[in-house]
Chain A
Amino acid sequence: MKIFKYIDLTIEYIKRNFAGHMEYRINFVMEIVCMTIQNGGFAAIWVIFFSKFNIVNDWTINDILLLHAIAGIYYAIGATVAGGMIRIGDKIAKGEIDFFLTLPKDVLWHILVSHMKPSVLGEYIFGILMFILSGYFSITNTLLLISTGILAAAIFVSSGIIYHSLSFFFGKTHELAERMIWSILGFTLYPQSIFQGNIRILLYTLMPAGFIAGIPVELIKEFDINKLAILFVATLIFMTIARIIFYKGLKKYESGNLINVQL
C-alpha cells in the first residue's frame, strides 16, 4: 500500500537526518544538552511561580509539568517527522520549491521530511523528564501521551503549513508565519485554565493551542473518549485544510530558476 511506502521512506529520512547530525557529534550533543536545559529554564519559572501561589484556576505544579511534558513530546514528534515545516515560507520566497517538484513523491511530504533540527532529542528527553516528575506517569498515561502527542504534532505542523503557505499568495510572509507559530507555541506553555472568555475561540481556531495542549492534558488527567474523538476529528480537519491551502498555493508558485544542490 502507498501509505506504508511513505512510512518506510519517512523512517529512512529520519535515520539519514540523524546520521547527518551525527557527523558533527560534539555539536549534536551540545545542542541536545542545551535544549534540555533551556526548556528546563521555562519549567523552573513555573516551579517558582507555584511555590508562591500553589493553585491557579485549579492547576497545580503537577499539571503544569504535565503540560510541559506534552509540549516537549508534540514538538519533538513534529520536528522529527516534519521539521521542514519551518522552512516552507522561506523556500517559497526564494524559489527553492523547484527541487521538490522534480521528485516522484508528494511535494508537501518531501519538504516536511527534508529537515530535522539536531536539538530534537533534547525535546524528547525534556518531555520524558517532565512526564516522570509530573506524577502522572503510568503505562496507560504513557500510551495516551504518545497518541495525543502524535495528534497534537499533526495539528501544530498543519497550522505551520497553513501560515507558511500564505507566502504563495502574499509574497514574503515567512517571518509573519514564524511569529504565528511562536505564538501558538507560547499559548501551549501556559496553564490552559487561565484562558477564559473570547480568547478560547482563538485557541481552537487560529492558534489551536487548545487542541495541541489543552485537550491532551485533560485526557491524561481524566480520560474521556468524546474528547479524544474531538481531538482526532480536529486533527483530520487541520491536516485537510493545510493540504488544500498548500496545493492551491503551489499552483500559483513561480520558479525562481534557481540552481541549487540539496545535500
Chain B
Amino acid sequence: MSQVYTAKKSDKFHLFRIFEKYLEIFKISYRSTFAYILDALSNTINYAIRLLIFNQLYIATYSSLSVETIDGLKRSEVIWMLMFVQSFHLSLRLLIDIINDIKSGQISVFLNKPFYFPLFQLSEFLGQQGVKCFINIIFGSIITYFLVGGFNFQITSLLLAIPLMIGTIILAFVQVFTFALISFWIEDSSAIFRIYSKLDMVLGGSIFPPSLFPGILKNISLLLPFANGSFVVGRCIVAFQKDEYTKALILQLLWITFFTSLIGILYKKGVKKLVIQGG
C-alpha cells in the first residue's frame, strides 16, 4: 500500500514539476516583454490610427444610412468591438522565428532540452501575447473612450470574457504553430500563412464585424475559427448574449482541439524528417 501511495504522490509531484517548468517559461517571457514596454507602446501609434480610421468609417456609414443602430449595434459599440478585435492578432513574428529555427536546424537545440517544444512555444507565446493584449486593451480603451465615449459596460461580461480571451490567445497560437510546422516539408510557409491571416482579417471582423455580414456569409463566418477568436471576446464584453457566449465557448474549444490534434500529427511526422548536418 505504501508503495502505491508513494507512486501516486510522486506522480502528482511530477505533474506539478512539469506545470512549474512551463509556468517559469511563461514568466520569463512576460518579464522580457515588459522589459521592452516602450517598443510595445510604440505599437500603439498604428493601433490608435486604425481606431481613428474605423471611427471615421462608421461615422460616415451610420450617417449615410441615417440610422442609430445597425443590426442592434450602435456606432460606439461597433468601435469598442473593433478595439477588442484589434487587440489580439495572429503573430507573424512567432511563425517566422519557428520557420527560421527549422530551416537553420536551430530547432535541434530545443529538441534535446527537457521540455516538449510545442508546449515551450505556447508558454512563451502566452507570456508575450498576454502582455501585448493587456497593453493594447488598456490603451485601446482610453483612445476609444475619447473617440466615441463609453458603452453599457457590465463587469460580469468582462469576467465571463476571460476564458474567451485565454482561448483566443491559445487559438491564435495553435493556428500559427500549425503553419510553422509545415516548414518541415516546404521551405517557407510564411507566404501561405499570410493568405490565411488575410482570411482572418476578412472573416475575423478586424474591420467589419461578422455579426453585420449579409445573409448566409454571416452564418458561415460565425462557425469558422476566425470569428471565434478576438471577435467573440469583443462581442461578449460589448453586447453579451448568453446563447452566443455558450456557442462561442464550444466552438473555440472545438477549433483548439482540431488544431492541437493537427499539431500533434505534424510535429511527430516533421521531427522524424529533420536532418541536422552537424556543425
Contact = CB atoms under 8 A, between A and B. Distances in A.
Interface string B31-51: 000000001001101100110
B202 interface: yes
B213 interface: yes
B129 to A, nearest CB: 19
Contacts of B109: none
Given A34-B192, A176-B42, A41 B56 contact: no
Interface stretch (B59-67, B148-156, B266-274): B59-67
A59 B65 CA distance: 13
**Residue of B39, B187, B194 ringed by the most chain A CB atoms within 10 A:** B194
Nearest to B43: A179
Contacts of A22: none
A233 interface: no
A49 B203 CA distance: 12
A56 interface: yes
Contact of B214 (A42, A52, A194): A52
Contacts, number: 86
B142 interface: no
Interface in A152-204: 175-176, 179-180, 182-183, 186-187, 190-191, 193-196, 199
A51 interface: yes
A199 B52 contact: yes
A53 B56 contact: no
A55 interface: yes
Nearest to A34: B191
Nearest to A47: B202
Interface string B199-220: 1011000011000111001000
Given A30-B191, A37-B198, A52 B46 contact: no
Nearest to B63: A57
Given A52-B212, A56-B64, A194-B57, A34 B195 contact: yes
Nearest to B45: A179
A31 B26 CA distance: 35
A190 B39 contact: no
Contacts of A45: 201-202, 207-208
A194 B187 CA distance: 42
B101 interface: no
B213 A41 contact: no
B66 to A, nearest CB: 12
B92 interface: no
Contacts of A187: 49, 53
Contacts of A34: 191-192, 194-195
A147 interface: no
By size class, the interface of chain B is 20 to 34
**Residue of A175, A193, A194 ringed by the most chain B CB atoms within 10 A:** A194
A225 B13 CA distance: 79
A193 B59 CA distance: 11
B202 A53 contact: no
A57 B60 contact: yes
B56 A196 contact: yes
Contacts of B212: 52
A176 B45 CA distance: 9
A49 B208 contact: yes
B46 A183 contact: yes
Given A175-B42, A196-B56, A186 B49 contact: yes
Contact of B217 (A31, A48, A182, A199): A48
Nearest to A41: B198
A190 B57 contact: yes
Contacts of A186: 46, 49-50, 53
A240 interface: no
A205 interface: no
Contact of A51 (B57, B207, B214): B214
Contacts of B39: 175
A98 B192 CA distance: 37
A44 interface: yes
A48 B214 contact: yes
A38 interface: yes
Contacts of A190: 53, 56-57
A27 interface: yes
B43 to A, nearest CB: 8
Interface of B: 39, 42-43, 45-46, 49-50, 52-53, 56-57, 59-61, 63-65, 187-188, 191-192, 194-195, 198-199, 201-202, 207-208, 212-214, 217
Interface of A: 27, 30-31, 34, 37-38, 40-42, 44-45, 48-49, 51-53, 55-57, 175-176, 179-180, 182-183, 186-187, 190-191, 193-196, 199
15 contacts: A30-B191, A34-B194, A38-B194, A38-B195, A41-B201, A42-B202, A48-B208, A57-B63, A176-B45, A186-B50, A187-B53, A193-B60, A194-B57, A195-B56, A196-B56
User: Which 6 A-B residue pairs are closest in the complex by CB-CB distance?
Assistant: A41-B198, A194-B60, A34-B191, A57-B60, A194-B56, A183-B49
